[in-house]
Amino acid sequence: MMTKPTEEQRKAIIENDKSYDDQFFYAVKTTKIFCRPSCKSRVPNFDNVRIFLTAENAIKAGYRPCKRCKSGGGRLPDEEWVAHVELYIKENYTKPLTLDKIADNCHGSPYHLHRVFKSIRGITPLEYLQQIRMSKAKEYLLHTEFPIQEIGELVGIANASRFSTLFKEKNKQTPRDFRKEYQKEGVKK
């Protein structure tokens, strides 16, 4: 059974009250993760919170156990967690993301996230973030006439100079040269 949180449950979540563990679990619609009341993760927006009496009910409803508080009773397999992290990055690449923010939103520590992600994907979460941003930047450069600075902002890099430098590092040419080459050749990259 799923319900909205009561005032007592809200208070338990805000205060990370361990005495409520195993009485209920709270799930957050936006992250698709469920936690114990004692979880040290960020206090959720209560408009997105649903309460479950058992971990099994939360899992059946499509929520994943939290890596931080081990709400599912055991550990979430690393592959599943990394897939969740990738999804979070894809959905939020336009925001100013740091390893700490990604780890916090995906319910893990920054060190553990970095280590596990790199061992499974061969790159760090921030390198993955930059890959997503550069891929989106190429799409904008090829299919729009937006100014370079605006494209940088659209992909989450507000500083135009930093965007151009990073683009050149990853693509061996500036965004402007990339766009010119495409327009000249008329070929998609």
Placement of tokens 């919170």 in the chain: 49
Per-residue tokens: 76: 């979430």
Strand 2-3 to 33-35 pairing = unpaired
Placement of tokens 């553990």 in the chain: 112
Check 35, 39, 66, 69 and give the catalytic one: 35
Placement of tokens 């893990």 in the chain: 108
Is residue 106 among the annotated active site residues?
Answer: no
Residues constituting the chain: 189
* 131-165 burial code (b ≥16 CB/10 A, e <16): ebbbebbbebbeeeeeebbebbbbbbbeebeebbe
CB-CB contact of 113 with 103 (8 Å): yes
Catalytic amino acids? 35
